[in-house]
Structure 1
Amino acid sequence: MITNYAARIRALDDDALERFVTDWAKRRTRDYVETQRWSGTGDMGRDVVGYVTRQRHEGEWDNFQCKQLSSRLSEKAAFVELGKIFMHSAAGEYRLPRGYTFVAPKGVVRNVQNFVAHPERFRQAFLDRWNELVAPELVENQVVTLTPGIRDAIERFAFDSVYWLDAAGLAEDEYAIPALVKWFGYDPGAAPPGVTPDLPQDEEAPYIEQLIGLYGERRNTTFADYDSALADPEWGQHLREQRTRYFEAAAFDRYYRDSTPPDYLVAFKDDLYHGVVDTHRDRHSDGLARVLRVLAQASQVSPAGVLGRYAKVPVKQGTCHQFANEGRLPWRK
C-alpha cells in the first residue's frame, strides 16, 4: 500500500494535493469539528485548517501546509512558510495554531528534520535568522522586520507541535484510507464479522418489538416479552438469526464509515432500499409474510461499488432491520 499510493500522492499537482489533504483531515473527526481549505492569494500561510472547536480561528486550530515540490522542502522554505504564521498572527489575523504540519510528499531536507526534532533550537533559529532568511521573503518588495509582536509570537509558539509528513507517512496514516479509496480506488477489504451480544441492546428495541408483535399476530397470541418469544419453538430461532444479521450490518457500517468516504455508505443503503421498497409496499398475507419476502428480496439485491462487493446476505438483511428501526421501512404498520 505505502509504496504504490505514496508514488501517486507525489504525482498530484498542488491543487489536488490540497484537496487530498482536506479529505484526509476531514476523517480526523476525533481531532476536529470542522476543516477548511484556504488556497490562493490571501491564504495567510494556511492551506488546510482543522478547527478544534466551533470558535474556529478564535479557538485552537491546526495548520497543514501543503508543498508539492520537485524536490524536498528546503530549510529556507520551511522558515518562510512558518514565518507567515508569525507575521499574520502578530497582525491579529488569527491566534497561533495549536499544531503545524508541513505536508511535503517528497520529504524535507535534513536540516528541517533536525529543527523539527529540536523544538527550542528551532525557536532560537527563528529569532537569530529572521533578518537573513525570512524578512525579505514574506511580502513582495518589502522587508518584514522582527517587530516586538512577531518576536512575541515566536516566543509563545509551541515549536514541539511542528511536524512533517512525506507521501509515505501520509499514505500509511489510518485517516488517509478513505482519501485513498476516493482518489485512487484503494480497496479497503472486507468488514470484520459482527458480534451479537447475549442480551438485546437498546439500539435493537424497535425492530425486535415489531418482530415479536408479528410473531404474535401469526400465532394469534401475545408474547409477553423477548424471552418468551425466544423460547418459542417455531419463531425463537428466527429471532436469533435476525439479531445476528442486525449486528453483521452494524459491524459493516462501523468499518466502512471509517474506511471509505461518507457518501459510499449512503449510496449502498440507498441502493438496497430501492431494491426492496416495492416488495415492502406489496400486498402480503400478514406482516410476517412481508418481513420474510423483503429479507428474501434483500438477499438478491446487488448494490454498486466496493461496499456492494463485500456486502454478504446477512449484512443486507440486517440493514433492512436498520430501516425498520428508523421507520424507513417498518415491519409492523
Structure 2
Amino acid sequence: MKDWATRRTRDYVETQRWSGTGDMGRDVVGYVTRQRHEGDWDNFQCKQLSTRLSEREAFVELGKIFMHSAAGEYRLPREYTFVAPKGVVRNVQNYVAHPERFRQAFLDRWGELVAPGLVENQVVPLSPEIRDAIARFDFTSVHWLDAAGLAENEYAVPALVKWFAYDPGAAPAGVTPDLPQDEEAPYIEQLIGLYGARRNKTFADFNAALADPDWGEHLREQRTRYFEAAAFDRYYRDSTPPDYLATFKDDLYHGVVDTHRDQHADGLARVLKVLAQASQVSPAGILGHYAKVPVKQGTCHQFANEGRLPWRK
C-alpha cells in the first residue's frame, strides 16, 4: 500500500504525510497547486487493518475533516479516498454509492457516531460551522479501495512488479513523426556531421541528409530506433519501479562503452560498431526480456543526446 500511495501521489505538485498525532484527519495528502492547503488538495486515508473499515471509523475519519475545516485549519479536500486492504463494511459501501444519503447521515448521526470519536474525552457538537462544511462538501468525491481494487489500479502495477514478479507486458511500438523533433536534435546533428565527413561534403540541413542516396535511409532507421526507445521508456517508467529502467540503461551502457572507446576509422564507423554491439547486449531482468534490437540501438542515441556516449568526439 505504501508503494501504491507513493506512485499515486506523483500526479501532484507536492505531497505530504500527516499520519500520527495531530494529523487533523489527514494521512497522505496530494497538493494540486503550490498553494498547498490554500488550494485544491486530495486526502488518502490509508488504513492497514486486519478487518474491513467499520462504519464508525469511516464516519469519524471523515468527520475530522469537517471539524478541522470548520475551524479554519484547511479547505475541504477535492477528493477523499479510504484505502483499506480488507475494504469497507457494506454500510459504508452503500453510503459511498449514495452521496446525498451519506451527507444526510452525517447530519442525522453526528451525535451518535461522530461527536464522541473526534477528540479524546470530548464530545464535539454539530456546530453551525461543521454543518456548513458538511453542506459544502462534495460527497461524490468520496471513494474507497481494497486490495483487489489496488491490484487493478494503474498506480499499483509497479508495486506488483516489484513484490510479486507481475509481468507488465511489452511496450507499445514507437511512432516516428515525419518532422524531426527538438528532443532528437543532438544525435541527428551529430549523425549528419558524420555523414558529411564520410562523404567529404557538408549537408545543408536534415532534408538534404535525408535525400542522400547512401545515408538517407540510415538516418530514417535511426529515427525509428530512437522513437522505439522513447516509447519503451514511457511505458516502463509508468509500469515498473524507478530503478528498473535505470538498471536496464546502465547494463546497456556498460555493454557498449568499450566499443565506443575503441579506435575506429572515423566517427561513422564508431556509430555502426556501437549499434551492432548494442544489438548483442542482453540486459538483465524483465526490461531486458522485452527490449528488442531497435530499442537497444535507440537507447544509444539517447546516450548521444545526453553526452554520455557522443557520436562526435
TM (norm. structure 2) is 0.92
Secondary structure, aligned partner of 1:285: coil
Q: Compute the RMSD of aligned alpha carbons.
A: 2.0
Question: Could you tell me how far apart the structure 2 residues matched to 1:303 and 1:109 are?
Answer: 46
1:95-150 Cα shifts (integer Å, max 9, x gaps): 21111111122222222122112222212211221111111112222222222332
Question: More deviation in 217-226 or 197-206?
Answer: 197-206
Partner of 2:25: 45
Partner of 2:209: 229
Q: 2:234 aligns with which of 238, 242, 254?
A: 254
Question: Could you tell me how far apart the structure 1 residues matched to 2:7 and 2:209 are?
Answer: 47
Secondary structure, aligned partner of 2:118: coil
Q: In the TM superposition, what is the alpha-carbon distance from 1:246 to its structure 2 partner?
A: 0.9
Are 2:163 and 1:183 equivalent residues in the alignment?
yes
Are 2:26 and 1:26 equivalent residues in the alignment?
no
Equivalent position amino acid for 1:269 in 2: K
In the alignment, structure 1 segments of 5+ residues that lack a partner are: 1-16
Counterparts of 1:206-285 in structure 2, within 5 Å, are: 206-285=186-265
Question: Could you tell me how far apart the structure 2 residues matched to 1:182 and 1:43 are?
Answer: 30
Question: Could you tell me how far apart the structure 2 residues matched to 1:206 and 1:70 are?
Answer: 54
Partner of 2:287: 307
Aligned length: 313
Partner of 1:11: none
Does structure 1 retain, via aligned residues, the 8 Å contact 2:4–2:155?
no
Secondary structure, aligned partner of 1:187: coil
Does structure 2 retain, via aligned residues, the 8 Å contact 1:98–1:161?
yes
Change (3 A) 1:272 1:22: same
1:124-178 Cα shifts (integer Å, max 9, x gaps): 2112211111111122222222223322222221112111122222211222212
Partner of 1:12: none
Question: Could you tell me how far apart the structure 2 residues matched to 1:91 and 1:302 are?
Answer: 60
Equivalent position amino acid for 1:277 in 2: V
1:259-301 Cα shifts (integer Å, max 9, x gaps): 1223322232233223323332333221111111221222232
TM (norm. structure 1) is 0.87
Does structure 2 retain, via aligned residues, the 8 Å contact 1:195–1:248?
yes
Question: Could you tell me how far apart the structure 2 residues matched to 1:35 and 1:307 are?
Answer: 29
